[in-house]
Structure 1
Amino acid sequence: MHKFADFVIDNPRLVTFFIFILVIAAVFPASKIRTDFDLENFYPKTDPTVQSYQLLEKEFGRDDNVIMVGLSSDSLFTVKELLELKTIIDSLKVIPNISDIQSIWSANEMVNLNGILKFDPFLDADSLQSDLLNIKKRITTDSFTEGFLIDKQGTTTAFFLEVDEENNTYETRNAIIKQLQATLSNYPSKDFKITGIPYFRNQYVNILNEEVIFYISFSSVLIILMLWYLYRSISGVFIPMLIVWFTVLFTVAAITLTGGYLEIMSSTIAPILLCVGVADSIHMMSKFDDAIENGMKQRKAIIEMLLTLGSATFLTSITTAIGFGTLITSTVVPMKRFGIYTAVGVLIAYTITILFLPAILKITNIRKVFKEKGGKLYPWIGGKLLKVSSFNRKHYKKISLIALSTCVLIGTGIYKLQVNGKVFDDVSRDSELIKDSDFFTNNLAPAFPLEFVINTEEPEGITDPDFIQRVESLQQHLLSYPEIHRATSFTTLLKELHQVMSPDQADINALPDDQNLIAQYLLLLEITDNDILQNVTDFDYQKLRIAAQTEDAGSQSINEIRNSIEKYLARNFTGEEVTITGSTILSANLVNKMVYSLASSIGLAFICISILMAFLFKDAKMVIISLIPNIMPLVLIAGIMGLLGIDIKPSTAVIFTIAFGIAVDDTIHYLARFRIELKRGLNIQDALEITTQKTGRAIIITSIILLLGFGTLITSEFTSTTLMGILVSSTIFFAVIADLVVLPSLFYWLKPTLKDIVKKAD
């Protein structure tokens, strides 16, 4: 490290020039960062959940490529309203990458014309006036239109824009949504409601993009103001800010260059790095100022800063990177990416700090970052920490016991924690997205698909009357769940066809009980031009699809419903293979995977840090002492979440990783400085006092900055982001108490020998 320090000090302009060249090179790839939100991409390609979904996609197409537009009108079934609706729909057909639009104007009814099956449109512009009441009655009682395209009262309707599967990208959807909104804006008297998974994804991403830019900017301004208040010097403000801006820029460029993109988790990387980068630079600038105060010249002070805190900051960066890097073991792809990119970003922050900070200090010939005549907070913190150190020494047993008792008491709330997440979980219940989604749930059917693919294992297996009856019973069973509003399948089609072609028999048995008759009906459907069969069965009639629509009930309810349905299937479909899938299942499975992956990753991180502490201090007690301050904030936050009824879900689960990274960073900074003071020959008491005062001051300042950075998230439109702001801010507070009060008290109480370090000092 000494040779490295000499090189940077002797070549500061070369180092700075090199960094600025990299900054210029990183601007272009960073500007090309893209954002997306695709549930299927959250899983590895080999995951059974994805393979089940791909089975549905292969046989029947995707269930997540439809944008839904709805409206209500008491005068819907008037000639004027219906023709105006047709005009709107026709104008939307010219939008590129829309493969089809389903509406009451495209809906067909089955007609028996002298024994010949025909599909005629319900609505015909030329005959609307003469038969409107009869049309309304037929279309509002049809199994395929009622609850889908129109409600029972005939006052609410919807049309569905199907996005071309080959071009179902964020950019394409954005263009479609803009043209859709522009067209609908030409009808200000109508209150259109828009929902559907493609629409939600893009609106979510658009809000996310705006928030990322806003919070980076807002946090930067607050941090700048705080740094100015603390240091009252331009260098004390702009050196840390340049370091964090460079860090974020390089990390975003790395994400782009490796084919990554921003989504629900990686969007939090920038605020994390903003805080971590500032923390590294503040710790090192504090050490530089301490060296100057001790009478060192600038060159020697820079070398002292690099020799002592360069290695200490490297240690904290490595441990923080390990904390995030353990997420690489996750089976959830975005969580794995989040862990990798955040770990890389932390190491980038360290690299820039040890290169840029000493170089810029040398170039600008700064004698001291903190101005004596500046802010009063900086020296005030140092004075208070001396009193804290004295308090710790006198009352270490009480402090330790109170801390442990508090953890146990609040930690009981962990038993009340529940794993539960919704598709729309991150969005405020008062937002337009949720209100529009609720409109469909309350008036037609929810926008969340729950799909079943039943494989009879033999061609024409779906023509077996016994099988048909069992499928019909399954549909009725599905509708017995309050969360499931609608279910259609081949049996729905068959019942309607039976009623049209054989009304007398249908009055006795709603479904045909003769296999030959079912085969004849299939032949009738084949020779028509209608493609309705391909939505409910495959080409050789071996597989059958049931399409259900469910509320956004949460992963806990969906998993309970699925488990109950699986028991029903095990009793009634012993000879068939049944696959339960759909976007709703993708979301429900994802919640559990993310939470349990995160728990195992944090456990792995604790093991890694325990090994590191054992290696550094060669004392078993030190492992306990180092882990308790890191565990405490996590236990307290988990307990508070349980007591307040805040569920564990992807957006709140990631809080624990962030909290762990912050807690570890502070603890390692403290222990690394403590180890340095021991090596200088100080006893444990003196080493603790100096560490608490000097490193404690930097910890408090960085914690204040972290609070400002994460505190801004409380104003977010996303409920999950607001919770993240509140809970991470609380964790930061708990971590400061744990590191500056509990950690020193544990030293006094457990009295580790630390013989190896003391011997080296001697």
Structure 2
Amino acid sequence: MERLADFIISNRRPVLAIAVILVIASIYPVLNVEADFSLEGFFPENDPTIEAYQLFSEEYGRDDNVIAIGLSHPDVLEDAFIARLRELVRELEDIDNITDVLSLLDAQRLRNVDGRLVAEPFLNGEIADRQALMEEITADPFVQGLFISNAADFTAIYIAIDEDQNNFPVREQIIGDLMHILSAQNGLEYYVAGIPYFRNQYVNVLNSEIIFYISISSVLIILLLWFLFRNVQGIVIPILIVWLTILFTVVILWASGGYFEILTSTIAPILLCVGVADSVHMLSKYRDNRMAGIEKPPAVRESLIVLGSATFLTSVTTAIGFATLLTSNVVPMRTFGLYTAIGVMVAYVITIFLLPNLMPYFKDTSPGGLPGARVHNAIGNFLQATFRFSLRYHKAVVIGTLLATVLIATGISQLRVNGFVFDDVGRDSPLIADSYVIGERLSPQFPLEIIIDTGQDDGITDPDLLARVALLEEKLISYDEIERSRSLTTLMKQIHRTMQPEEAALNPLPDARTLLAQYLLLMEITDADALDQFTDFTYSQIRVSAQAHDAGSWRMNQIRAELLDFISDTFPNESITMTGTTILVADLTDNIVRSLASSIGLAFVFISLIMAWLFRNFKLVIISLLPNIMPLLVIAGVMGYFGIEIKPSTAVIFTIAFGIAVDDSIHFLARFRIESRRGRTLIDAVRVTTEKTGRAIILTSAILLVGFGTLGNSEFDSTMYMGQLVSITIFTAIIADLFFLPALIYWFKPNMRALRGEFPIKGV
């Protein structure tokens, strides 16, 4: 480390010049980073769930490219309102990248004209008998709940986005044009919803909030740094380092083809809090050196040499904790883990290269009168007290801490995995309020699709099959969470009622293959597009399409299990595929659980190996791992007790918690090893370590608490829980490292002679 330190210090100007050039070069990439997210993006390309969804989309179209516009009016069948609706539809059709606009104007009735099946618009000319029309139109299963409410006081327009252009910039353009048109509709009460709308609005609001909280956290961290260090260098250098870390990490994200989505948007506030730790440790060491009477240049060099290797080790272990998410099947978790790990290492590189070279530009006072000495001494007094307490009551501390951890960890039994389509936003959030209005006035917005494949051409012309499909539809709508099921059976019932009303009164479904084939032919001639919604080209499949509320993956998995049991009994000879947005969310939960368990387990393996190599002492390896397990158990228990569910955004909190916890314990044990090599007794080594490293632990923990604590007031559940739970982690880690860890050392009494062997990392 000495050579690297001398190289960095002796090349101050070239290092700073390179930093300035990199900052200037980063302006364009940062301004051009894209933001987007989709449920499909949570799965690998070859995942069976995605393959099923893509096959369905190719045959029947996507279910995530439609924006719904709800319109409220006392009478949507009123002539004046219909005229206004026509004009609004014409304006919407002129929006670029829109392929279709459907409304009540497109609703059609089927009629029998001299033995021919004819489809004609419900709203064709003036309305002669409004009451009769309302009864007819609200009784139509393909119109009621889609285009009109039962009371005829609410209708909806659906605009379909070009599937090849369904990306964030295009959606922004469409939403902008849409809102411009709607805002000009004076006196018209409207609501906007749909997955494309939610995606973009979610990203926009989330990014705005992230920027807001980064700004607030930065201000609070600056105030805290001033309180702790009471000089300009103690403020400017750490803040500059974390801002540059965020900047360069975003550039790497852009250069590698990444973009901001649900999880990567949270990388910035994490790096803001975590990235400041290295510089605070080095500044604390520098202040200790200055207060010990060491001149400024040697104090800078000594800080870099002594802590360069230790901070490298803590950065590596933190990065490993995040990088283990690369084993996840959940794609955004992999992306989050990769770029956060990169950001942690970027913070380290910036710290060791810039901090020593920026120090000469700041004035320093004499050692005896350094600003912040009062805070420095107060922290020292507290640490001496913790040392004496842990020494005197070490067995009680260990037993009490373990019992408290186990007690809190019992909450894990109540922990539940549950994800929503509209995740991380409350029901009262303006972001999704319109969606709930449309769902309540018409029908829910989230499709549950079931494909019944007979495996043979014209297989759907079996009357028994249609009768069994009718039973499936009855089963679907028996759930409170599912509404408005439609299928080929629904269509055949309507045609049968139109063509043979007397026969249909006795038997709602046609009971002969020939009659079914005839109806299919009539529908091909009359409205082939309507038929294509419910069957494939060869007539071998039947599509059952239901609308589901955003009930959560936990409940939907229960419903799916019951439905699959029912389907296996009802359709023993047909192959069944269940897909749609609700299924994507439901399947995501299993991936999260597996990914979380494997990544945390893998992180423990890697950290254990590093500890074994670092200390080469079995007792110290055990001692080092126990304080790192505590915060994870506490977080899981707290989540269970308070009903905080595991989902993509909260699952990564465990990784963040592990990364934070392991940092301080490694700093503590590394310093303990140094003091052991200096010939100190076990008690003296712990005392010095507690006083010296404990001070840096308190300072970095205070900064982390301020940084993450501000996130606890966020409107987004993911950001709020991150702030609250990580703050609990930090507090738990302080207790573990300053009380529990020393007490463990006293109890286990590791061999001090073995600890005085050569340290694996030179310069520590």
TM range (shorter): over 0.9
Please report how far the alpha carbon of residue 506 of structure 1 lies from its aligned counterpart in structure 2 after TM superposition: 0.9
* Whole-Å separation in 2 of the counterparts to 1:112 and 1:42: 48
Q: Does 1:478 align with 2:476?
A: yes
2:285 aligned counterpart, secondary structure: helix
* Whole-Å separation in 2 of the counterparts to 1:375 and 1:533: 81
Q: Does 1:162 align with 2:136?
A: no
CA contact (8 A) 1:232 1:371 kept: no
- 1:686 partner letter: D
1:86 aligned counterpart, secondary structure: helix
Deviation digits for residues 356-413 of structure 1 (CA, Å, limit 9, x no counterpart): 0111124547578996244732331122111111111111111111100101111111
Which residue of 613, 616, 624 maps to 2:614? 616
Which residue of 323, 326, 332 maps to 2:324? 326
Q: Does 1:184 align with 2:191?
A: no
Point out where structure 1 has 5 or more consecutive residues left out of the alignment: none
Aligned to 1:87: 87
Bigger Cα displacement from structure 2, 710-719 vs 182-191: 182-191
Deviation digits for residues 400-443 of structure 1 (CA, Å, limit 9, x no counterpart): 11100101111111111111121113002211233222212322
Aligned to 2:762: none
CA-atom RMSD, angstroms? Answer: 1.6
- 1:149 partner letter: F
2:106 aligned counterpart, secondary structure: coil
Q: Does 1:279 align with 2:277?
A: yes
CA separation of 1:662 and 1:88: change in aligned 2, threshold 3 A: same
CA contact (8 A) 1:714 1:726 kept: yes
Point out where structure 2 has 5 or more consecutive residues left out of the alignment: 760-764
Deviation digits for residues 186-237 of structure 1 (CA, Å, limit 9, x no counterpart): 2242321211111111111110110121111111111111111211211111
1:139 aligned counterpart, secondary structure: helix
Instruction: Report percent identity of matched pairs.
Output: 52
Q: Does 1:561 align with 2:559?
A: yes
* Whole-Å separation in 2 of the counterparts to 1:250 and 1:434: 34
1:378 aligned counterpart, secondary structure: helix
Which residue of 681, 684, 690 maps to 1:683? 681
Deviation digits for residues 620-663 of structure 1 (CA, Å, limit 9, x no counterpart): 21122111111111111211111122222222211111111111
- 2:180 partner letter: A
Please report how far the alpha carbon of residue 74 of structure 1 lies from its aligned counterpart in structure 2 after TM superposition: 2.2
* Whole-Å separation in 1 of the counterparts to 2:729 and 2:497: 64
CA contact (8 A) 2:231 2:371 kept: no
* Whole-Å separation in 2 of the counterparts to 1:378 and 1:241: 20
Aligned to 1:726: 724
CA contact (8 A) 1:427 1:717 kept: yes
Aligned to 1:8: 8
CA contact (8 A) 1:232 1:370 kept: no
CA contact (8 A) 2:292 2:367 kept: no
1:512 aligned counterpart, secondary structure: coil
* Equivalent runs, 1:510-549 vs 2, <5 Å: 510-549=508-547
* Equivalent runs, 1:98-177 vs 2, <5 Å: 98-124=98-124, 126-128=125-127, 130-177=128-175
CA contact (8 A) 1:151 1:157 kept: yes
CA contact (8 A) 2:73 2:189 kept: no
1:451 aligned counterpart, secondary structure: strand
* Whole-Å separation in 1 of the counterparts to 2:412 and 2:24: 48
* Equivalent runs, 1:35-46 vs 2, <5 Å: 35-46=35-46
- 1:406 partner letter: A
* Equivalent runs, 1:669-680 vs 2, <5 Å: 669-680=667-678
Aligned to 1:503: 501
Q: Does 1:406 align with 2:404?
A: yes
* Whole-Å separation in 1 of the counterparts to 2:369 and 2:72: 66
* Equivalent runs, 1:595-634 vs 2, <5 Å: 595-634=593-632
TM-score, normalised with respect to structure 2: 0.97
Please report how far the alpha carbon of residue 58 of structure 1 lies from its aligned counterpart in structure 2 after TM superposition: 0.9
- 1:719 partner letter: D
* Whole-Å separation in 1 of the counterparts to 2:222 and 2:264: 24
2:104 aligned counterpart, secondary structure: coil
CA contact (8 A) 2:617 2:755 kept: no
* Equivalent runs, 1:700-715 vs 2, <5 Å: 700-715=698-713
- 2:353 partner letter: L
CA separation of 1:279 and 1:697: change in aligned 2, threshold 3 A: same
CA contact (8 A) 2:291 2:370 kept: no
Deviation digits for residues 57-94 of structure 1 (CA, Å, limit 9, x no counterpart): 11101011111111332222211122222222222111
Aligned to 1:384: 382
CA separation of 1:749 and 1:368: change in aligned 2, threshold 3 A: farther
CA separation of 1:340 and 1:369: change in aligned 2, threshold 3 A: farther
CA contact (8 A) 2:53 2:580 kept: yes
CA separation of 1:759 and 1:344: change in aligned 2, threshold 3 A: closer
* Whole-Å separation in 1 of the counterparts to 2:334 and 2:428: 32
Aligned to 1:48: 48
CA contact (8 A) 2:293 2:367 kept: no
Aligned to 1:18: 18
Aligned to 1:295: 293
Please report how far the alpha carbon of residue 159 of structure 1 lies from its aligned counterpart in structure 2 after TM superposition: 1.4
* Whole-Å separation in 2 of the counterparts to 1:533 and 1:369: 85
Bigger Cα displacement from structure 2, 639-648 vs 314-323: 639-648
- 2:161 partner letter: V
Please report how far the alpha carbon of residue 301 of structure 1 lies from its aligned counterpart in structure 2 after TM superposition: 2.0
- 1:122 partner letter: F
- 1:504 partner letter: E
- 2:430 partner letter: E
CA contact (8 A) 1:617 1:754 kept: no
TM-score, normalised with respect to structure 1: 0.97
- 2:43 partner letter: Y
- 2:126 partner letter: S
Aligned to 2:735: 737
* Whole-Å separation in 1 of the counterparts to 2:373 and 2:250: 35
- 1:2 partner letter: E
CA separation of 1:372 and 1:365: change in aligned 2, threshold 3 A: closer
- 1:441 partner letter: G
* Whole-Å separation in 1 of the counterparts to 2:147 and 2:565: 32
Aligned to 2:266: 268
